[in-house]
């Protein structure tokens, strides 16, 4: 599933081509996504796309006729193409623009979504109103994370992956950040010291920022908006390396299931 860096890379890829453009037509070829594509999506026809925003793993298109909420799901991808480009299988939704381009959404597994909101969804939509802070902003710091962790018995890995605590620290980047911080993924969040949170938070920020810089991580279906793969996979220290030797100490990495997600760690470097 695309995580925060992949979604941010998609945002940066499509924004320059669609911001400022007027929507000529909304084409829905298959409304059967995670939730049915609502007929109200047609409200944005004739509207100008003012901004492409990312909130957590959602993209929000600001128009002067309301807001479009997009989630890539497990296999969704956005492309900006000439509007007469041949339609291929799983091209379910597209916005055709007056400049002759189209924002096209392809989603083989149909777990993505396209929704409409009259008001800014961050203030009104149930999918977004309860989300935690963005990890790359000043709202997410060690003091905040330490305070949120007090009394928590859940594992630190599932704690930092909780979107009510902080958004966008998905499985790949939680594995990598905890390894770099030397924290065992099963350690109770409430038993991690403030000093260790002061180390972990900058690592989370740096890991996510680096992944964005590298165009995301190519795992299964993800490619950038221009069709190119992301390259952060080449820098992964633990994720996907269960049973291989730790890059730091040469101890064999362990792979377990934690919160129903694959978790890889070094039993020597992480405690």
Binding-site residue numbers for DNA are 90, 109, 152
- Measured between alpha carbons, how far is 36 from 7 in angstroms, rounded to an integer? 21
Closest CA to 242 of 228, 255, 259: 255
34 is annotated as an active-site residue = no
Closest CA to 237 of 224, 246, 228: 246
- Measured between alpha carbons, how far is 94 from 223 in angstroms, rounded to an integer? 18
Show binding-site residues.
Answer: 90, 109, 152
3 is annotated as an active-site residue = yes
Q: Which regions of the chain does DSSP assign to beta strands (E)? A: 23-28, 49-55, 58-63, 66-71, 77-82, 91-97, 101-106, 113-117, 254-258, 261-265
Torsion of CA 135, 141, 144, 150, to 10 degrees: 100
- Measured between alpha carbons, how far is 158 from 144 in angstroms, rounded to an integer? 17
Which candidate in 24, 210, 261, 268 is catalytic?
A: 261
261 is annotated as an active-site residue = yes
Which candidate in 2, 5, 121, 185 is catalytic?
A: 2
The upper half-sphere exposure of residue 114, i.e. CA atoms within 13 Å in the direction of its Cβ, equals 30
Which candidate in 54, 57, 104, 157 is catalytic?
A: 57
2 is annotated as an active-site residue = yes
Active site residues: 2-3, 57, 261
């Amino acid at each position: 599933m695309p995580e925060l860096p992949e979604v941010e890379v998609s945002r940066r890829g499509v924004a320059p081509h669609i911001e400022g453009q007027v929507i000529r037509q909304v084409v829905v070829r298959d409304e059967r996504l995670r939730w049915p594509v609502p007929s109200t999506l047609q409200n944005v026809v004739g509207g100008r796309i003012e901004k492409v925003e990312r909130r957590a793993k959602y993209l929000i298109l600001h128009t002067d006729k309301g807001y479009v909420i997009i989630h890539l799901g497990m296999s969704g991808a956005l492309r900006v193409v000439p509007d007469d480009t041949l339609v291929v299988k799983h091209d379910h939704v597209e916005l055709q623009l007056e400049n002759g381009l189209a924002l096209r959404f392809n989603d083989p597994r149909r777990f993505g979504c396209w929704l409409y909101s009259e008001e800014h969804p961050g203030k009104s939509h149930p999918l977004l109103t309860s989300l935690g802070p963005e990890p790359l902003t000043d709202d997410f710091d060690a003091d905040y994370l330490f305070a949120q962790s007090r009394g928590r018995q859940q594992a630190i890995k599932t704690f930092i992956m909780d979107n009510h605590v902080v958004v966008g620290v998905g499985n790949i980047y939680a594995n990598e950040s905890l390894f770099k911080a030397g924290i065992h993924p099963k350690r109770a969040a409430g038993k991690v010291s403030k000093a260790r949170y002061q180390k972990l938070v900058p690592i989370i920020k740096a890991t996510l920022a680096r992944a964005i810089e590298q165009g995301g991580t190519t795992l299964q279906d993800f490619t950038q908006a221009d069709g190119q793969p992301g390259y952060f996979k080449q820098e992964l220290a633990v994720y996907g390396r269960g049973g291989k030797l730790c890059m730091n100490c040469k101890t064999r990495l362990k792979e377990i299931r934690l919160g129903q997600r694959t978790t890889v760690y070094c039993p020597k470097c992480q405690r």
